[in-house]
Amino acid sequence: MAKTAIYIQRGESLDYQNATEELISAGTAILFGKRIGVIGGDIPPGETGAVHVVGVFEIPKKSGVALSAGDNIVFTESDGIDKATGDVMGYAVKAANAQDETAVVKILG
């Protein structure tokens, strides 16, 4: 028996409900399960908006961490971008020095 799929959306961005009591501002990097998401537009409390789960973004980086282009990365809300030692959430698009505050990364939806 065939398994029929129903198309929902492209998937570069997904619907995201703000379950907090505070506005989530556009450009905020968040954990989306075991992935990185970037909020596409301001989302008021209790409302639904877009979270980008695919793309290249400049995101704050953990202090003291150097990245080479192609290094696998992870993201935590406390430290930002860090080198991956387990689950991979994306990769560095260009090198970042240890003293750099941000990293340019490709996130993987």
In the structure encoding, which two tokens stand for residue 107, read together?
A: 């996130």
Cα separation, 45 vs 4, whole angstroms:
35
Sequential pLDDT tens for the chain (109 residues): 789 999 988 899 999 999 999 999 999 999 988 999 999 999 999 999 999 999 999 999 999 999 999 999 999 999 999 999 989 999 999 999 999 999 999 999 7
